Amino acid sequence: MGAAPSSEAIEAQARRVIARLPAEFRAHLGDIVLTVEEYADDETLAALGIEHPLDLTGLYHGRPIGEKSVFDSGTLPDRIHLYRQAILAEWCETGVRLDDLVAHVTIHEIGHHFGLSDDDMHALEDAVTD
């Protein structure tokens, strides 16, 4: 497996995934903030009822596009958080290629932004990784 990739390397991989999305998806992702953190913070884990930080690989903060209104104001930008240590732990445990795992987590969180079903997320992932 080699050395553990840095946060920057994981972010670069996630951005490559986003760049491969169909144009109709990319057009609605310009304002999303993408960050890679080591772990989810205790407050986030508690809010989600998750006990161990390695159990959360990514999280979308925001309202799905279909729920947004022109009357929304003063809200924070939508954000996608990828959690490096949890991604690396899953990579080691499963043996899934790291780029495939980062693609899976990134697309899953993007799917929440669009309000996609799990089936739709899997179809989008297949379109990007094929």
pLDDT given for residue 91 in this prediction: 94
pLDDT given for residue 102 in this prediction: 95
What phi, psi does 28 have (nearest 5°)?
Answer: -110, 15
pLDDT given for residue 1 in this prediction: 56
Dihedral (CA of 106, 109, 114, 116) sign: positive
Nearest 5°: the CA angle 35, 38, 44 is 75
pLDDT of 69 strictly over 60: no
**pTM for this prediction:** 0.86
pLDDT: is 123 or 46 the higher one? 46
Asked if residue 117 is part of any domain, the answer here is yes
Asked if residue 2 is part of any domain, the answer here is no
Contact between 111 and 120 under an 8 Å Cβ cutoff? The reply is: yes
pLDDT: is 65 or 55 the higher one? 55
Asked if residue 115 is part of any domain, the answer here is yes
Asked if residue 124 is part of any domain, the answer here is yes
pLDDT, one tens digit per residue, over 76-121 is 778 999 999 999 999 999 989 999 999 999 999 998 888 888 888 8
pLDDT, one tens digit per residue, over 16-64 is 999 998 888 888 887 889 999 999 999 999 999 999 999 999 999 887 6
Asked if residue 71 is part of any domain, the answer here is no
Our count of domains for the chain comes to 1
Asked if residue 70 is part of any domain, the answer here is no
Q: What is the 3-state secondary structure (H, E, C) of the chain?
A: CCCCCCHHHHHHHHHHHHHHCCHHHHCCCCCCEEEEECCCCHHHHHHHCCCCHHHCCEEEECCCHHHCCCCCCCCCCCEEEEEHHHHHHHHHHHCCCHHHHHHHHHHHHHHHHHCCCHHHHHHHHHHHHC
- CATH number of the CATH domain containing 43: 3.30.2010.20
pLDDT of 66 strictly over 80: no
Asked if residue 1 is part of any domain, the answer here is no
Asked if residue 51 is part of any domain, the answer here is yes
Domain housing 86: 7-65+76-129
